[in-house]
Amino acid sequence: MKRGFSVLLLTGALALSACQAPAHAGEASVLAPAAARQSDEARGLRQAIFAGGCYWGVEGVFSHVLGVTSVVPGFHGGAARTADYDRVSGGDTGHAEVVRVTYDPKVVRYDQLVRIFFSVVADPTTLNRQGPDTGTQYRSALVPLGAEQQQVAAAYLAQLKASGIWKAPIVTRIEPYKGFYPGPDYHQDFMAKNPSHPYILAWDVAKVAALKRRFPGFWKATFTRG
């Protein structure tokens, strides 16, 4: 869990290595293929939902993608009454930590966001786990909003499975949309507000660096807040 991992880092045993973690950069960067099925999206801002483990890092990556105008961490998959961080952290609510990304498809298409997601955000082969965090709330999933995203997501997962890039089976799922519930205020823009947080240094800085390295054409230096 994020909390437990942060406590360990703060003891000093891992504090130094958290700032010098080249192994994490390798884990966070696998160049996924360009989508064979490209998105055909209407004009105007669109939204997409991604579950990829701790939402701090997922937000951090997408907030640096050109064409993204908003990234909001929150919860998806369970009931409204259980969309509370403490309850979700128990792993028995059905919710996953997710981000809702608002983007301009004239600048970055949904299929390109999906490619970025699998390249530098989430490991699609780990079931109910990303990095140090375990539990169903840290599963990886695509949550399509509409028929076009559904078709693109299904085609891309099939493409990944056929690519052989990952030796282990791909377990990322497509989940039907069940409502989005924003996370607490203190978790919004977390990486921008807490750049020296031990967890951010250990796991998420490498992901943002991988975005810049792998996708320079989609990189923007400023952090999109909200």
Q: Spell out the domain ranges in the chain.
A: 31-194+210-217
Which residue type occupies 27?
A: E
| Confidence band for 4, pLDDT divided at 50, 70 and 90 | very low
Per DSSP, what are the bridge partners of residue 224? none
Backbone angles phi, psi at 223, to 5 degrees: -90, 120
Give residues with Cβ within 8 angstroms of 172, minimum separation 6.
118, 122, 124, 140, 141, 142, 157
| Cβ–Cβ < 8 Å for 187, 55 | yes
Q: Is the pLDDT of residue 18 over 60?
A: no
Q: Is the pLDDT of residue 13 over 70?
A: no
Considering only CA atoms, give the Rg of the chain.
Answer: 16
Q: How far apart are CA 63 and CA 71, in angstroms?
A: 6
Question: How confident is the model at residue 3, as a pLDDT?
Answer: 53
Q: Which residues are catalytic?
A: 54
How far is CA 103 from each of CA 67, 157, 217, rounded to the nearest angstrom? 5, 21, 15
Helices (H), the chain: 2-10, 15-18, 22-27, 55-62, 85-88, 110-116, 147-163, 190-193, 198-199, 205-214
| Confidence band for 12, pLDDT divided at 50, 70 and 90 | very low
**126-140 average pLDDT score:** 97
What is the pLDDT of the chain when averaged over all its residues? 90
**Predicted TM-score (pTM) of this structure:** 0.90
Q: How far apart are CA 226 and CA 129, in angstroms?
A: 26
Q: Is the pLDDT of residue 152 over 90?
A: yes
Residue owning tokens 């990829």: 52
Pairing of strands 129-130, 133-134: antiparallel
Lowest-pLDDT range of 1-10, 14-23, 119-128: 14-23
Q: How far apart are CA 27 and CA 204, in angstroms?
A: 11
| Confidence band for 89, pLDDT divided at 50, 70 and 90 | very high
**96-106 average pLDDT score:** 98
Supply the CATH classification number for the domain 31-194+210-217: 3.30.1060.10
| Confidence band for 2, pLDDT divided at 50, 70 and 90 | low
